[in-house]
Amino acid sequence: MTESESDPLSLQARLRSASLRAMVLTSTGRYEEGLALFDQTLDLARKLGRSTRIVQNYSTLPLRDLFDLGEARRRTEEALVGAESLSGFTMPRAMAMADLVQTAMLQGDIGTAESTWRTQWEDSINTKGWARWLVSCRLAAAKAELELLMGRTEDAVEWARKTIELCVPVHRLKYEIAGRMLLGRALVSLGNGAEAIPELRLAVELADRLGSPSLRWPAQAALGRALYATGDDKGAEHAFAEAKSVIHGITAALAPERATRFLAAEPIREVVAGSTKPV
């Protein structure tokens, strides 16, 4: 074993660095490379007797992007086992709880999403670590989506605005985009397309600037539905064409089994079919 491999701080830095590289790869659409690096890093952590909790947390994001929800939830729940008793794991536990909220929502398990959200929101004031504000941004966006899913549209507007207010000062562009998409969707549901469309156009612009395909296709799809709802069929068709192009780009770079699962997911099928239903 090399000297660096016997140094706990060096080992932790090595594992964290590999995880961050994997996240960068997946965030730019290089999912197969990033997921392979996540698996290699998890194997290395086990080989060296190190905890896999944080790496597992990171790895669930691309799994959710690709709708591999069973595996994403398994990794999150495994990371959470006994985590409440671990000193120094406060922030990663909070992030894992936020992961569980998002995965449960995607699975339609609203009960788990709501109860987990409530527990973590109440605990967030005690969350330690540099990403305390990130947890709040994530949870606010999740709450807006929960309210929208439950038909509490005015509450969804309130939480979407709160998400944006939390994210803008700390430059959390990803969750600002999520907040603007949710705000636009909620406003469309309330019949206020005139206010919704500028928010959704800004979400598209910001998502294109950030460059993450997992944000670009839903932003375009949300804009497309809003444009259909306000009678701009031509604009809607263009937005859906852009969303489909991003989806096809993701699919082309995936292994066959992953591509099949991704294309079978209901949100993807709706976009590929050009759904006109505002949601």
Q: How confident is the model at residue 124 (pLDDT cuts 50, 70, 90)?
A: confident
pLDDT in tens, 52-72: 888 999 999 999 999 999 999
Whether residue 279 has pLDDT greater than 70? no
Q: How confident is the model at residue 129 (pLDDT cuts 50, 70, 90)?
A: low
The pLDDT score that the predictor gives to residue 9 is 53
Q: How confident is the model at residue 256 (pLDDT cuts 50, 70, 90)?
A: very high
Neighbouring CB atoms inside 10 A of 106's CB total 18
Query: 140 and 163 in contact (C-beta within 8 Å)?
Result: yes
Average pLDDT over residues 22-41: 97
pLDDT in tens, 64-95: 999 999 999 999 999 898 766 555 557 778 88
Average pLDDT over residues 209-238: 97
Average pLDDT over residues 17-27: 95
Whether residue 12 has pLDDT greater than 90? no
187 closest CA partner among 202, 170, 175, 166: 202
Query: 268 and 67 in contact (C-beta within 8 Å)?
Result: yes
The pLDDT score that the predictor gives to residue 16 is 84
pLDDT in tens, 154-204: 999 999 999 999 999 989 999 999 999 999 999 999 999 999 999 999 999
Q: Which residues contact 85 (CB under 8 A, 6 or more apart)?
A: none
